[in-house]
Amino acid sequence: MTATRTYLDCNASAPLRPAARAAMLAAHDAIGNPSSVHAEGRRARAIIDTAREQVAALIGAKPSEVVFASGATEANNCVMAAGWEAICVSAIEHDSVLAPARACGARLIELPAGAGGIVDLPAVADALAHAAASGARTLLSVMLANNETGVIQPVAQAAELARMHGVPLHVDAVQGPGRLPVNFAELGADALVVSAHKLGGPRGVGALIVRDGVNLPALIRGGGQERRRRCGTENVAGIAGFGAAAAEVARETGVAARIEVLRDRLEAGVTAATPGAVIIGGNAPRIGNTSCIAVPGKSAETLVIRMDLEGVAISAGAACSSGKVGANSVLEAMGLPIDITHSAVRVSLGPETSEDDIAAFLAAWEKVAGGAALAA
């Protein structure tokens, strides 16, 4: 393995920002319980209140709408478990949405996506019409941008359809902040989920954004914290890091455009080195940091392992369990053939990604998947 590492898996977890680390270290010195009324408790409470304002400002929400949780998975589970009788959900959602939706006892209506990776809006309209006609208490869930392909979903149009039928909309926006503008008030969603570690904050903290006036039952009871939606003493340091990362993202200008230029350069190099490679979702609107690349005839796991040995961290579009390779559920939902679903890898860039990183990736890719490697 090479001594120098190139990290290109930011959709899984972005590197911790120095500002977030500093905020967390400072928060550890606030010894009080945020629910205590003494000076120490008020200091801890002020840290949380500041972070709540910072997260709200990043995504165009009110501070009163921000509920901190242990992460996006918990926040998504909270929404799915809210007692719905029917859930209309896009088939390309993250498993933290699909798994609880399938397990909650509601009638599940999975909405297809086309080969371009975009949820089928006519199917959304049809599903909502049928649900409304049945009188069932229904939820619509459509993610903002897909974590595997980067394809941006038509959330605003889905929100219009939801409003026509009086159905609330949930949006998993985990891959959005820092990669495209996110405005909760303008999207028309009733609940939206974000995660700290996707934008350079710490792991283990996220937020559920609930529109004022929307009634969702508490996920965790006992104590009254987080507007009684998520009780328990807050993770003050994690929340402080989340807020600091959010504030830094909100101040950045031109970063997303620079990253997209690097992503496009990477894809051009891949297609030159591997003419048979397929850029999944390449013709659809995408967040600028994500590339999902399939090399028919190659195993995704093998590509990831060999790139790792060359010092480059990417992720597989397929999962390996008990020695069996399984196709990526997102790509299957798009109707892509098995030689694509089993060979797809994801490369995801971040603010720290440099031209040298792209060069290192392409040099490794040429060895692992270039013409000579494929002929071997």
Rounded-to-5 percentages of helix, strand, coil across the chain: 40, 20, 40
Name 209's bridge partners: 66, 192
Confidence of residue 318 (pLDDT cuts 50, 70, 90): very low
- Intrachain domains 18-251 and 254-375 with the same fold: no
Q: Pick one of 3.50.50.60, 3.90.1660.10, 3.40.640.10, 3.20.20.70 as the CATH number of 18-251.
A: 3.40.640.10
CA distances from 355 to 94, 98, 218, 259, 362 (A): 30, 37, 46, 10, 11
- Do 128 and 160 form a contact (C-beta atoms < 8 A)? no
Name 66's bridge partners: 209
- Write out pLDDT tens, residues 150-192: 999 999 999 999 999 999 999 999 999 999 999 999 999 999 9
Task: List active site positions.
Answer: 320
- How far apart CA 140 and CA 272 sit, in angstroms, is 41
Name 206's bridge partners: 69, 195
Secondary structure class of 169 (helix, strand, coil)? strand
- How far apart CA 279 and CA 282 sit, in angstroms, is 5
Query: Is it the case that residue 1 has pLDDT exceeding 90?
Result: no
How many C-beta atoms lie closer than 10 Å to residue 319's C-beta? 13
Domain 254-375 part of CATH 3.30.420.40: no
Query: Is it the case that residue 263 has pLDDT exceeding 70?
Result: yes
User: Could you state, in order of their start, the residue ranges of all structural domains in the chain?
Assistant: 18-251, 254-375
The size of the chain, in residues, is 376
- pLDDT for the residue 374: 56
Pairing state between β 290-294 and 344-348: antiparallel
Name 207's bridge partners: 68, 194
- How far apart CA 197 and CA 104 sit, in angstroms, is 27
Phi, psi of 172 (to 5 degrees): -80, 105
- pLDDT for the residue 115: 87
Sign of the dihedral defined by the CA atoms of residues 190, 195, 201, 203, in that order: positive
- Write out pLDDT tens, residues 320-374: 333 444 558 899 999 999 999 999 999 999 999 999 999 999 999 999 998 666 5
Q: Indicate the average pLDDT of the chain.
A: 94
* Packing angle of the helix pair 355-369, 255-273 (nearest 10 deg): 20
- pLDDT for the residue 327: 58
Long-range own/partner contacts, residues 265-270 (CB < 8 A, 24 or more apart): 265/355, 265/358, 266/291, 266/347, 266/349, 266/358, 266/361, 266/362, 267/291, 267/293, 269/358, 269/361, 269/362, 269/365, 270/362, 270/365
Name 333's bridge partners: none
Confidence of residue 227 (pLDDT cuts 50, 70, 90): confident
Question: Mean pLDDT, to the nearest integer, of 32-46?
Answer: 96
Confidence of residue 319 (pLDDT cuts 50, 70, 90): very low
Query: Is it the case that residue 291 has pLDDT exceeding 60?
Result: yes
- Write out pLDDT tens, residues 93-125: 999 999 999 999 999 999 999 889 999 999 999
Residues 6+ apart with CB under 8 A from 376: none
